[in-house]
Structure 1
Amino acid sequence: MTSCAKAILCLGGVLLSVAAQAAPDDRAMGIYLEAGTTPQSGRSTDSLTLGLTRPFGANYPLWGGDVSFYWDAFLSGWRAPKPHGNDNDNYAQIGAIANVRYRFGEGGSPWFLDAGIGGTVMDHLYRTPDREFSTAFQFTEVIGAGLNFGAQREHEVSVRFQHFSNGRIKEPNPGENFVRVRYLYRY
């Protein structure tokens, strides 16, 4: 098991113990586990992410729905093919995203859309046979859709598309895209 995977599991245990002590609420904090992969054919970078969400600001009615905001802080591990050879390389990443959520049905629907923008830092430069990042810092943008369920909407599943690039701070800047599935528990 890699040190990144051990750190994610350790952090997860601590966060779950905190979560077990609090009651869920629609505007409560959340803890999530997310798995993803790159959609390119011929190679695959896989990711596993553990994170926390925290609502902020007031909700606003908009177009027959409800708009809310939340912070997302996460620790992620990537596993990607090395540029040369048959081995894989592991990457650790930490990041934060400011998100906006639109909930349908004047806020009463279990269905929602998310969009966010943030920044991340990786432990070393990401390099694969066809991509090479020039900076450890990356901007990130995410869009997603999902639904809540449970007596107090404490469970949440979503599908998210996430892009990473350095915003042309330095070249090369090929970026990387992930399709991710998230399970979140609100506490």
Structure 2
Amino acid sequence: MRALTRSIGGALLASLFAAAAGAAPTEGLHPGAVFAQGGVGENGVQAAGIGLLWPWDWRAQAAGGEFSAQTELFVSQWRARGAAGAHEGYTQAGLVPLLRYRPDEGRSPWFVEGGIGLSVTDSLFTTPARTMGSRWNFSDNLAVGRNFGARGQHELSLRWQHTSNAGLKQPNPGLDLLMLRYSARF
């Protein structure tokens, strides 16, 4: 049964990816950037991940800056003390559309961004302090960052990621992670 659930979950995630990637990226299925991130969460949870970014062909000037959007696809590995006391590993995959704001009419190297997407873990996240009610969750993300390099092709960002199922299934304690991300644009 678990293999069937994983297969269905993988198919749904792939469908969401295809829909989001085909919606408005500038390069079709070719990503515009790659990233690596790592951080910590509540109760000693450690996380590390990699991902791809697809910029959208959309920009809007407002509030003295520029808004843009992108879609990220990520895979993370969480490490936490399991319910039995030993360390356990959990793999999370997610798809998140992000809205980015860059001040100074879009000329600033600084940005803030946020987005809400979907994620799934390979097994139910269970620690002595919390148990998630579902493997399927929302991934809420907020970040502040800065581009650097001759063409602004590199960026560092500090990110807050909240994972929970929005109360759709109990228990729903959620998990907060603070992550440092490095991205390189092609």
Same structural fold, with TM-score higher than 0.5 when normalized by the shorter chain: yes
Which stretches of structure 1, 4 residues or longer, exceed 6 Å deviation after superposition? none
Give the AA of the match of 1:105. Answer: D
Gaps of 5+ in 1: 1-27
Counterpart of 1:185 in structure 2 is: 184
Deviations 1:133-153 (A, max 9, x none): 111101011111000001111
TM-score (norm 1): 0.81
Counterpart of 2:139 in structure 1 is: 140
Shift of 1:57: 3.3
Shift of 1:168: 1.3
Give the AA of the match of 1:169. Answer: L
Q: Where do 1:97-136 residues align within 5 Å?
A: 97-136=96-135
Shift of 1:109: 0.6
Shift of 1:165: 0.3
Gaps of 5+ in 2: 1-30
User: Taking every aligned residue pair, what percent have the same amino acid on both sides?
Assistant: 36
Counterpart of 1:66 in structure 2 is: 66
* 2:52 is aligned with 1:35: no
TM-score (norm 2): 0.82
Aligned length: 156
RMSD of aligned residue pairs (Cα, Å): 1.0
Q: Distance in 1 between matches of 2:139 and 2:131?
A: 16
Deviations 1:86-123 (A, max 9, x none): x2000011100010000011111100001101000100
Give the AA of the match of 2:127. Answer: T
Counterpart of 2:48 in structure 1 is: 48
Q: Distance in 1 between matches of 2:58 and 2:136?
A: 31
